[in-house]
Amino acid sequence: MKIILFVFSFFVFISKVHSQEWVIVDIVNQNSKELFVMIDNGGEKINRKKIKNPSIVNLINEYQNNGFTLEKVTSGIELDINGNIPLSNNNRGNNFGFSNLTFSNNNRIMLWFKKE
């Protein structure tokens, strides 16, 4: 019984010693006045935030001053398709049958911060 209790307490101790805190900052939009970000810190809710200083370098420095290290920078594309797809092709000149479709893409940058 003592061995089982020792092994259990050992694994609980190891998991608390080597736990890491991750924060993912998703840069949604950047213009000359503001920076729009979504922050995922592992909680239930993803926080949306507007930052008046639109510098990504200042954002990275802010997290590094709080004890985080920048582990990864990833880039992704979010595709948005809006419009109607007709069920029947009444227009013989339209071979694909698509009408009123608009495509838009958003290039997004994600900053992955780790705190040990």
pLDDT per position as a tens digit, 7-47 = 555 555 555 555 568 899 988 888 888 989 999 888 888 88
Residue 7 lies in a domain: no
Residue 41 lies in a domain: yes
Residue 81 lies in a domain: yes
Q: 35 burial class (0-12, 13-18, 19+ CB within 10 angstroms)?
A: buried
Res 70: pLDDT: 93
Q: State the total domains in the chain.
A: 1
Ordered DSSP codes for 29-51: EE-SS-EEEEEE-SSSSPEEEEE
Domain that holds residue 65: 21-86+93-115
Mean pLDDT over 75-83 rounds to: 74
DSSP β-bridge partners for residue 80: 104
Residue 102 lies in a domain: yes
What's the pLDDT tens digit per position in 57-76? 999 999 999 999 999 999 87
Residue 8 lies in a domain: no
Which of 19-28, 79-88, 95-104 tops mean pLDDT? 19-28
Residue 16 lies in a domain: no
Residue 64 lies in a domain: yes
Mean pLDDT over 81-106 rounds to: 61
Residues 111 and 75: their CA atoms lie apart, in Å, by: 9
Residue 99 lies in a domain: yes
